[in-house]
Amino acid sequence: MTTLYERRAAPPVPPVPPAARRSPAGPLLALLWAGAAAALAAWWLNADSVVGTAGWLTNAGRIAGLLCGYACAVLVGLMARVPVLERRIGSDRVTRWHAMAGRYTVCLLVAHIVLILAGYAAQDGASFVHETLTVVLDYPEMLKATVGTLILFAAGITSARAVRRRLGHELWYHVHLLTYAAVFLSFFHQVQLGTDLTGGGVAQAAWYALYLGVAALVVWFRVLAPVRLNLRHRLRVESVHREAAGVWSVVVRGRRLDRLGARAGQFFRWRFLTEGMRWTSTPYSLSAPPRHDLMRITVKSLGDHSAAIPLLRPGTRVWAEGPYGSLTADRRTAPKSLLIGGGVGITPLRALFETLPGEVTLLYRASRAEDLALGGELEAIARWRGARVLYALNGADGRRPSFTAGSLRETVPDLAAHDVYLCGPHGFARDLYEALRAAGVPDRRIHHESFEL
């Protein structure tokens, strides 16, 4: 590990750490699985005796359809940006749940289509193709459901990692916005053709309640709450500053920003209302603790949206949603903390470095000294609060520093007694996580957010 330099003052007396807040992840997952069991119960209570190949295929298709319909509601609910999920469970974890649920949903959708059509074809003695055309063209609500199905397939395909890497963020974003239309178009065939949901009974009422509840969450947290935030706080670009090669900071001014409740380590989704940027909402972390009238983000040019950041002009209107994320001081369980940042992952850690209570050490990984964004600020904070800042750079021969359990323990001798906040590229964060675990740091003390799916 190559250390450029170290600044250290007398360490402060560490306060007693607060009690760790219990995550609602476990109860929420239990609730979601209970909902899936309830969907299966709807089939069980309405199922007649299953006879013959057609009966087995059709009923298997009904089960897949119920679970798929339920999963669609869960998918939308997870992305409604409900504050208790975003801040207590973590946006990255919720996003991974959404991605996993999306893969299961597409599989259930394929199973539902194939099994139902095969069952109907066996029952009618018709070919699979003929039965498909009959169902799509003659059954009520099926044309709309077919359009919704195609949209869901498009969302699934564009979410595949190999495909997503080749797509612009804007195209991926807008395809996924159409998922709302897909769920809406597919809903009505469920309650009109779904044998388990027709007849106006308890199952149908529960299904309506599920979808209306999810729709209410989306309208409130993804439409009304952002409208209220932006009308109330009137955000505009104050200034744009270069921090390092390809790295820029944007200072945003607004009214009564202290009432947003934003914390160091959190992020907002930003939409800059200027040509070429107004149609894309992108998450960027706060790179400094928010003030009553100012917030700051620091962005590295990695795509079309981030590359346009230097072109922003003072006075540009800003549309923001948030704050989101759980990489905050609330995760703290020990009086000592180690912050490890790689590349532009330093941005939320810089804000935490200034505000996190107790004894704090910051380890910043970059290729060259010239790539150290916010380095001057980090040194000033280290001197002011009596903290340590360490820089891990490539060697003179270009060799990368090695992060192993041994090197980490050598750098921070009582490493296992620290909370570790970790932020950086996916591969960097994964390797550091494994090294930290090997060094004896408990999993509950490694705090990170990653949006790699």
pLDDT of 21 reads: 55
pLDDT of 130 reads: 93
Q: What is the mean pLDDT of residues 28-42?
A: 92
Asked, as a colleague might, if the bond just before 323 is cis with ω within 30 of 0, I would say yes
For 322, the 3-state DSSP assignment is strand
pLDDT tens digit sequence for 115-168: 999 999 999 999 999 999 999 999 988 999 999 999 999 988 988 877 877 777
CB 408 within 8 A of CB 435: yes
CB 152 within 8 A of CB 182: yes
Checking if the pLDDT of 19 tops 90, the result is no
Superfamily of domain 234-324, CATH level 4:
Translation factors (2.40.30.10)
pLDDT of 202 reads: 87
pLDDT of 161 reads: 78
Select from 217, 183, 190 the least CA-distant residue to 204. 190
E strands present in 293-380:
294-300, 318-324, 336-342, 359-365
Q: What is the mean pLDDT of residues 80-97?
A: 85
Which is more confident, 213 or 7? 213
The β-bridge relationship of strands 336-342 and 359-365 is parallel
**Whats the size of the chain, residue-wise?**
453
pLDDT of 359 reads: 92
pLDDT of 181 reads: 92
Q: What is the mean pLDDT of residues 235-247?
A: 93
Which is more confident, 226 or 452? 226
Checking if the pLDDT of 169 tops 80, the result is no
Q: Distance between CA atoms of 274 and 377, rounded to whole angstroms?
A: 30
Q: Distance between CA atoms of 294 and 258, rounded to whole angstroms?
A: 9
Q: What is the mean pLDDT of residues 241-249?
A: 91
Q: What is the mean pLDDT of residues 53-66?
A: 92
Work out the number of other CB atoms within 10 angstroms of the CB of residue 426.
Answer: 11
pLDDT band at 301 (very low <50, low <70, confident <90, very high): confident
Which distant-in-sequence residues (6+ apart) come within 8 Å of 426 by Cβ? 450, 452
pLDDT of 3 reads: 36
pLDDT tens digit sequence for 387-446: 999 998 888 777 888 889 999 998 898 999 999 999 988 888 889 999 999 999 998 899
Q: What is the mean pLDDT of residues 201-208?
A: 89
Checking if the pLDDT of 5 tops 60, the result is no
CA dihedral 248, 163, 78, 309 (to 10 degrees): 10
Please report, rounded to a whole number, the percentage of residues in the chain having pLDDT higher than 70: 94
DSSP letter at 259? G
Checking if the pLDDT of 17 tops 60, the result is no
Select from 242, 323, 330, 252 the least CA-distant residue to 291. 252
pLDDT of 22 reads: 66
Q: What is the mean pLDDT of residues 366-386?
A: 89
Residue 352 Cα distances to 148, 266, 330, 381, 403, angstroms = 44, 10, 11, 11, 22
pLDDT of 304 reads: 73
What the block records as the tokens of 104 is 């299961």
Domain ranges of the chain: 3-19+332-448, 25-229, 234-324
pLDDT of 450 reads: 67
What the block records as the tokens of 265 is 């380590």
Which residues are bridge partners to 268 per DSSP?
A: 284
Instruction: Note the Cα 127 to chain centre separation in Å.
Output: 44
pLDDT of 70 reads: 95
Q: Would you say the pTM of this structure is higher than 0.95?
A: no
pLDDT of 452 reads: 55
Q: Distance between CA atoms of 430 and 448, rounded to whole angstroms?
A: 10
E strands present in 245-326:
247-253, 267-272, 282-285, 294-300, 318-324
The β-bridge relationship of strands 282-285 and 336-342 is unpaired
CATH architecture assignment, domain 3-19+332-448? 3-Layer(aba) Sandwich (3.40)
Question: Do 3-19+332-448 and 234-324 fold alike per CATH?
Answer: no
pLDDT band at 16 (very low <50, low <70, confident <90, very high): very low
pLDDT tens digit sequence for 365-375: 988 888 888 88
* Strand order through the sheet with 247-253: 236-244, 247-253, 294-300
CA dihedral 165, 166, 169, 171 (to 10 degrees): -140
For 282, the 3-state DSSP assignment is strand
Checking if the pLDDT of 18 tops 70, the result is no
CB 411 within 8 A of CB 436: no
- Residue 88 has phi, psi (to 5 degrees) of -95, -35
Q: What is the mean pLDDT of residues 269-293?
A: 90
